[in-house]
């Protein structure tokens, strides 16, 4: 792991008298997949949106690739990719037209087919967004984060509502994007997703980070503390059966 690309120090966010984020600090390293894991209401989206410059903070200091968020938020916007709300995908436009539209918003020339290829949607180039399955829509949404060739992308619960195959396809896609050098911050409330995908995880609860480490180390630490699962689980679970029977290949077409 190389250098710190995001540094969050003593971040606080109050909504009126409600203290949603309670002085959290963490660093994200360049090239890692960093997870914010926690139950609903933990403060994950608030934290992400503050770093994305989309929401104001109450206090604290945030640096993104050496840029101070208070001093130059627009410079940060230029180097990050944020998932656009799928509701903003005009239903009457096809994917190529949408990419041109979003490229215009970012003032970027984009090759729509090359971008669609990256997310395995080139065959859907002429389809309208309303004609996509849930998994395809999420892949397209991830493609939109890449339009401005960002150094860092932010994914807010990207697999919520997807079936197991579509989720695994999306995990593969996220790993591929990281392999090309992009740092990824992801929020999730799925434990298996965090364990499979993230190099390091910050577990958030009620506005605080209660643990930050790699999934492996967290599990080892718990095991070394004498913890034992009450009952030995089987060597496979129902999801394994499902994937085994229906195949791992792209099926959310």
Closest separation in Å from C-beta 247 to ligand ADP: 33
| Best CA proximity match to 50, nearest among 79, 73, 81, 22 | 73
Closest separation in Å from C-beta 206 to ligand ADP: 9
Asked whether position 81 contacts ligand ADP by CB under 6 A, the answer is no
Q: What is the CA radius of gyration of the chain?
A: 19
- Estimate the crossing angle of helix 134-145 against helix 164-179, to 10 degrees: 20
Stretch 27-56 residues interacting with ligand ADP (CB under 6 A)? 38, 40-46
Closest separation in Å from C-beta 55 to ligand ADP: 8
- Specify the residue, 147 or 155, whose C-beta has the smaller distance to ligand ADP: 155
Report how far residue 41's alpha carbon sits from residue 67's, in angstroms, rounded to the nearest whole number: 29
- Specify the residue, 47 or 136, whose C-beta has the smaller distance to ligand ADP: 47
**Residue that has been written with the tokens 């139950």 in this structure:** 39
| Burial per residue of 201-233, b for 16 or more beta-carbon CB atoms within 10 angstroms, e otherwise | bbbbeebbbeebeebeebeeeeeeeeeeeeeee
- The span of 3-11, 12-20, 112-120, 223-231 binding ligand ADP (CB under 6 A) equals 12-20
Closest separation in Å from C-beta 45 to ligand ADP: 3
- Estimate the crossing angle of helix 164-179 against helix 238-246, to 10 degrees: 80
- Specify the residue, 40 or 180, whose C-beta has the smaller distance to ligand ADP: 40
Give the number of residues in contact with ligand ADP, rule: CB under 6 A. 11
| 3, 4, 10, 15: which one binds ligand ADP (CB under 6 A) | 15
Q: Is 245 helix (H, G, I), strand (E, B) or coil?
A: helix
Interface residue list for ligand ADP (CB under 6 A): 15, 18, 20, 38, 40-46
């Amino acid at each position: 792991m190389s250098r710190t690309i995001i540094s969050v120090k003593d971040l606080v966010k109050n909504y009126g008298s409600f203290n949603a984020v309670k002085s959290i600090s963490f660093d994200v390293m360049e090239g890692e997949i960093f997870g914010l894991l926690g139950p609903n209401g933990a403060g994950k989206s608030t934290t992400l949106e503050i770093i994305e410059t989309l929401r104001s903070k109450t206090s604290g200091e945030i640096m993104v690739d050496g840029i101070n968020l208070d001093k130059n938020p627009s410079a940060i916007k230029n180097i990050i990719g944020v998932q656009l709300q799928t509701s903003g995908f005009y239903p009457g436009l096809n994917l190529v037209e949408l990419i041109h539209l979003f490229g215009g918003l970012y003032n970027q020339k984009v090759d729509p087919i090359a971008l669609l290829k990256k997310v395995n949607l080139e065959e859907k180039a002429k389809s309208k967004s309303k004609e996509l399955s849930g998994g395809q829509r999420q892949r397209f949404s991830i493609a939109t984060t890449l339009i401005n060739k960002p150094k860092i992308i932010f994914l807010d619960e990207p697999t919520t509502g997807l079936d197991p195959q579509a989720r695994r396809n999306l995990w593969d896609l996220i790993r591929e994007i990281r392999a090309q050098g992009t740092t990824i911050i992801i929020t999730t409330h799925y434990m298996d997703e965090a364990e499979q995908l993230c190099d390091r995880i910050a577990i958030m609860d009620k506005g605080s980070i209660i643990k930050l480490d790699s999934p492996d180390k967290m599990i080892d630490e718990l095991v070394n503390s004498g913890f034992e699962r009450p009952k030995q689980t089987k060597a496979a679970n129902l999801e394994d059966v499902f994937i085994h029977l229906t195949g791992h290949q792209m099926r959310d077409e």
